[in-house]
């Protein structure tokens, strides 16, 4: 059965796409609005602004890949679709970061979990971060709109065994659990969302808002990396970009973009990086600081029966039992989820080598993996990381603080308790030096004593947030609550970089909903309400 | 100076990598002196230790799997960002010269002449070291080897795993 590739069809029908790797000479582009980045923020903004009758150009540093390219193999997906071939790490190498880099951004490779911004986060932003007008009542209609647009519904099929173990453990222990809402339509339940959906069921930006914008005449420039914002007297007058070749190395071709309005949607690392490199006004030194990751711990449970964590919707259950257990700015909370289990992912994110590692890998199909995503950015000892420029790019320093390690110890204990309760024969906290634990009693004692440290304890992240916060107080924020720059009149930011803390929830729906609100307001402003 | 860069910068982790494709090679070109150099001999010494228990038991199959992994490692390196490549080559260069070996392993004996037990000792010393430099050297080599080995579908039989066939 052949799968129809909507991108191939769209390109054949005349969509305006320029692959900058094919350009031989410098070129200039003009539109009403230029959007940098095509992920959750850029994709939604592009559709809304195009529908308002504005001409739009989307610029993406990654390549345009589509279902014909998605062959369900990590060795192809990681270099094609992820930042730094999925090998990106913090400066000290202690945290591995997964972030998308292709048309559709991280939405092309995420695991489809769609959660509205938690009420606790919105309240904290209003009270402590000067964010105005974003509360349950004002935002929920925007979430409803985006849920409808992206077919976000509760996953009403049987969870796969990996998620079912999380659910069963929660039931046995009386812990909260929630059935996840997913942005899919006609999902085949195969489990390969992280490698690009091979059947176009995932309603990522790649197959929804971006095609919709292109249908209405928007332009897409792929393999072009924005290097500088040219600004003067509080106005942006151009963006400069470098064309990249097919291997994403810079070519000699330079691109210039001019517009009435510019939107940065390059994600929580690259949006601040572009702004810092362009020396935009930042009198309170906020740019690139307070970068949040939901730093994540892993726990492996070996079961007697087949778990087959590679198969089926990768995330369909989560538990918020521990996310907001303490006050928002109290001891750090953590969200419990499961990841898909694929060969490179598990081989890399486990411990040791030789016989012990081979033994773990031989139990691949019996392995249930639970993850705990730590809610960072609220506690005084959890202030996130900082992006620094280097001659060739950037580094991200992210100190793992005492407050983080206290939360990590609690999280390892919760995960082990959950896995034993769900029927695990043994549990392995993924931190070097820990043996397989044989019972919850054994685990409780061992985890209380375990040594936790950067590089010894595996820490990963798939949620980069912050670095260009929104709010009304210029001492706390770079852009206002509508994403409009405090300093450059015709510049907005619409992506995860505006979050002044982490979310305590997977970020895609927060970005969709808040961008829908802010891009709609911008469209009205730019069209004088005539759109 | 090169060694100093490595010592200061610490060594790259290389999580999830590619093989058989070379569509992503960000930023800048390989360091000139490393172009074309694949450190095959060095890795051929390390693979039997790092993949002990994972490699096939039958000798001919084992050799084929090692060769496949060496090819995969070469491909994996090509998709790493330039800064990570530079750090990796610095580490590999150090492991190929006696002074570098002395710094990293307190011995000048070439790796080729060390027994599997001695190589395991070296890896364990790095793994449990208090120096971030040695820990990151261990983690970087470990992740490069594991990611490259398990990138290959022909190495999945012990996992009892195969990707689904959707389109037949």
The values of phi and psi at residue A412, to 5°, are -60, -40
Distance from the A351 Cα atom to the nearest Cα atom in chain B, whole angstroms: 9
Q: What is the pLDDT of residue B167?
A: 64
As a whole number, the mean pLDDT across chain A is: 97
For the cut 50, the answer to whether the pLDDT of residue A302 exceeds it is yes
Instruction: Report the alpha-carbon distance of residue B96 to residue B76 in Å, rounded.
Output: 20
Angle of helix A161-173 relative to helix A402-421, nearest 10 degrees, comes to 90
| Start-end of H helices in A189-253 | 209-215
pLDDT at B7 over 80: no
Average pLDDT over residues A215-239: 98
The two three-digit tokens of residue A482, written as one number: 């509508």
Query: Residue A392 has what pLDDT?
Result: 82
Instruction: Tell me which long-range contacts B119-122 makes (C-beta under 8 A, separation of at least 24).
Output: B119/B45, B119/B46, B119/B49, B120/A354, B120/B49
Give the closest residue to A513 by CA, choosing from A232, A165, A70, A135: A135
Which one of B21, B82, B123 has the shortest CB-CB distance to A75? Answer: B21
For chain B, the C-alpha Rg in angstroms (whole number) is 16
Residue A259 is classified by DSSP as E
CA distance A85 to A341: 18
The residues, ordered by sequence, that sit 6+ positions from B19 with a Cβ below 8 Å of its Cβ are: A75, B71, B72, B75, B76, B148, B151, B152
Answer yes or no: is pLDDT of B31 > 50.
Answer: no
- Contact list in B for residue A248 (CB cut-off 8 A) is 24-27
| B151: contact with A, CB 8 A cutoff | yes
Q: What is the mean pLDDT of chain B?
A: 81
Best probe of the B interface among A78, A100, A224, A342, by most B CBs < 10 A, is A78
- How far, in Å, CA of A256 to CA of A488, rounded? 19
Q: Which of B15, B124, B127, B137 to mutate to test the interface with A (most CBs of A within 10 A)?
A: B15
Confidence of residue B13 (pLDDT cuts 50, 70, 90): very low
- Residue B82 binned pLDDT confidence (cut-offs 50, 70, 90): confident
Please answer yes or no on whether A347 and B49 come within 8 Å at the CB atom: no
Q: Is the CB of B54 less than 8 angstroms away from the CB of A80?
A: no
A chain contacts of residue B54, beta-carbon cutoff 8 Å: 357-358, 361
Q: What is the Cα–Cα distance from A447 to A432, expressed in whole angstroms? A: 12
- Residue in chain A nearest B19 by alpha carbon: A75
Beta-bridge partners for A395: A388
With an 8 Å Cβ cutoff, are A85 and B18 in contact? Answer: yes
| pLDDT tens digits for range A315-343 | 999 999 999 999 999 999 999 999 999 99
For residues A108 and A100, is the Cβ–Cβ distance under 8 A? yes
Kindly indicate the confidence band of residue A530, based on its pLDDT and cuts at 50, 70 and 90: low
DSSP β-ladder status, A95-97 and A459-461: parallel
Q: Do the Cβ atoms of B164 and A84 come within 8 Å?
A: no
Backbone angles phi, psi at A289, to 5 degrees: -100, 170
How far apart are alpha carbons A418 and A165 in whole angstroms?
A: 8
The domains of chain B are located at: 2-18+39-150
How buried is residue A529: exposed, middle or buried, by Cβ count under 10 Å (0-12/13-18/19+)? exposed
Query: Which are the contacts of A332, defined by CB distance < 8 A and separation ≥ 6?
Result: A374, A375, A376, A378, A379, A382, A403, A404, A406, A407
- Cβ contact, residue pair B21, A455, below 8 Å: no
Residues B111-138, mean pLDDT to the nearest whole number: 95
CA nearest neighbour of A512 among A495, A499, A497, A500: A495
Q: Are A353 and B123 a contacting pair at CB < 8 A?
A: yes
With bands split at pLDDT 50, 70 and 90, how would you rate the model's confidence at A165?
A: very high
Question: Quick one: tokens of A163?
Answer: 């998620």
Mutate to test the interface with A, among B16, B21, B75 (most CBs of A within 10 A): B16
Q: Quick check: A76 and B153 CB within 8 A?
A: no
What sign for the dihedral angle of Cα B18, B24, B25, B26?
negative
pLDDT-based confidence at residue A1 (cuts at 50, 70, 90): low
8 Å CB contact of B151 and A190: no
Q: What is the pLDDT of residues A263-272, one digit of tens each?
A: 999 999 999 9
Are A344 and B151 within 8 A, CB to CB?
yes
Chosen from A100, A296, A343 to mutate, greatest number of chain B CBs within 10 A: A343
Question: Residue B116: closest CA among chain A residues belongs to which residue?
Answer: A354
Would the CB atoms of A347 and B150 count as touching at under 8 Å? yes
Q: Look at residue B30 in the predicted model and tell me its pLDDT.
A: 37
Cβ(B148)–Cβ(A353) below 8 Å: no
Condensed to tens digits (0 to 9), the pLDDT of residues A39-78 reads 999 999 999 999 999 999 999 999 999 999 999 999 999 9
DSSP output for A363-429: TGGGEEEEEEEE--SSSTT---BEEEE-SSSEEEE----HHHHHHHHHHHHHHHHHHHHTT-SEEEE
How far apart, in Å, are the Cα atoms of A89 and each of A77, A187, B83? 18, 32, 12
Tens digit of each residue's pLDDT (9 = 90 or more) over A357-388 = 999 999 999 999 999 999 999 999 999 999 99
Q: Stretch A262-289: mean pLDDT, rounded?
A: 98
Residues 81-110 of B with CB under 8 A from A: 81-84
Asked if A317 and A180 count as a contact pair (C-beta separation under 8 A), the reply is yes
């Amino acid at each position: 059965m052949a799968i129809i590739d909507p991108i191939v069809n769209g390109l054949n029908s005349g969509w305006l796409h320029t692959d900058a790797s094919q350009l031989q000479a410098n070129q200039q582009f003009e539109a009403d609005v230029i959007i940098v980045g095509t992920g959750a923020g850029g994709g939604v903004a592009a559709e809304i602004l195009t529908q308002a009758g504005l001409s739009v150009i989307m610029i993406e540093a990654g390549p345009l890949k589509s279902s014909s390219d998605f062959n369900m193999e990590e060795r192809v997906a990681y270099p094609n679709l992820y930042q730094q071939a999925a090998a990106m790490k913090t400066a000290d190498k202690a945290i591995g970061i997964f972030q998308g880099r292709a048309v559709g951004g991280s939405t092309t490779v995420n695991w489809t979990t769609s959660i509205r911004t938690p009420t606790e986060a919105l309240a904290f932003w209003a009270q402590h971060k000067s964010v105005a007008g974003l509360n349950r009542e004002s935002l929920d209609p925007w979430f409803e709109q985006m849920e409808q647009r992206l077919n976000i519904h509760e996953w009403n099929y049987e969870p796969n065994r990996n998620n079912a173990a999380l659910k069963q453990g929660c039931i046995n222990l009386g812990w909260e659990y929630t059935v996840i809402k997913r942005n899919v339509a006609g999902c085949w339940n195969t489990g390969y969302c992280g490698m690009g959906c091979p059947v176009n069921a995932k309603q990522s930006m790649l197959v929804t808002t971006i095609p919709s914008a292109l249908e209405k005449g928007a332009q897409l420039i792929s393999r072009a990396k924005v290097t500088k914002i040219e600004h003067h007297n509080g106005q942006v007058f151009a963006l400069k970009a470098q064309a990249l070749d097919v291997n994403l190395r810079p070519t000699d071709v330079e691109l210039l973009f001019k517009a009435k309005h510019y939107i940065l949607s390059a994600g929580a690392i690259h949006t601040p990086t572009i702004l810092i490199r362009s020396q935009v006004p930042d009198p309170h030194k906020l740019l690139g600081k307070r970068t949040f990751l939901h730093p994540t711990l892993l726990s492996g449970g070996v079961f007697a029966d087949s778990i087959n964590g590679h198969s089926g919707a990768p995330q369909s259950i989560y538990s918020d039992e521990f996310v907001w257990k303490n006050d928002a700015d109290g001891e750090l909370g953590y969200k419990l989820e499961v990841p898909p289990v694929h060969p490179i992912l598990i081989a890399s994110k486990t411990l040791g080598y030789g016989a012990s590692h081979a033994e773990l890998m031989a139990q691949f199909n019996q392995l249930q993996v639970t993850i705990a995503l730590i809610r960072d950015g609220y506690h005084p000892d959890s202030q996130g990381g900082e992006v620094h420029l280097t001659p060739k790019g950037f580094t991200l320093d992210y100190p793992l603080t005492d407050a983080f390690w206290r939360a990590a110890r609690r999280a390892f204990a919760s995960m082990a308790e959950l896995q034993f309760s769900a029927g695990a024969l043994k549990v392995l906290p993924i931190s070097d030096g820990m043996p397989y634990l044989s019972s919850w009693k054994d685990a409780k004692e061992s985890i209380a004593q375990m040594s936790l440290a950067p590089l010894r304890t595996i820490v990963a992240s798939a949620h980069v947030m912050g670095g260009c916060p929104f709010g009304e107080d210029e001492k706390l924020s770079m852009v206002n609550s509508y994403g409009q720059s405090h300093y450059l009149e015709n510049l907005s930011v619409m992506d995860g970089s505006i979050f002044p803390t982490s979310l305590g929830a997977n970020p895609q729906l927060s970005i969709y909903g808040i961008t829908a609100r802010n891009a709609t307001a911008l469209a009205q402003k730019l069209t004088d309400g005539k759109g | 100076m090169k060694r100093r860069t490595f010592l200061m910068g610490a060594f790259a982790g290389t999580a999830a990598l590619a093989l058989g494709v070379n569509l992503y090679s960000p930023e800048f070109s390989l360091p000139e002196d490393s172009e074309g150099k694949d450190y095959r001999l060095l890795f051929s010494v390390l693979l039997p230790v790092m993949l002990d228990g994972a490699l096939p038991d039958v000798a001919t199959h084992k050799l084929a799997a090692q060769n496949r992994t060496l090819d995969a490692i070469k491909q994996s390196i090509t998709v790493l960002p330039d800064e990570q490549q530079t750090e990796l080559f610095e580490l590999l260069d150090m492991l190929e010269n006696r002074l570098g070996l002395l710094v990293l392993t307190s011995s000048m004996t070439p790796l080729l002449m060390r027994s599997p037990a001695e190589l395991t000792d070296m890896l364990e010393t790095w793994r449990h070291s208090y120096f971030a430099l040695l820990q990151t050297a261990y983690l970087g080599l470990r992740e490069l080897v594991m990611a490259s080995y398990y990138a290959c579908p022909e190495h999945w039989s012990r996992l009892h795993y195969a990707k689904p066939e959707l389109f037949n």
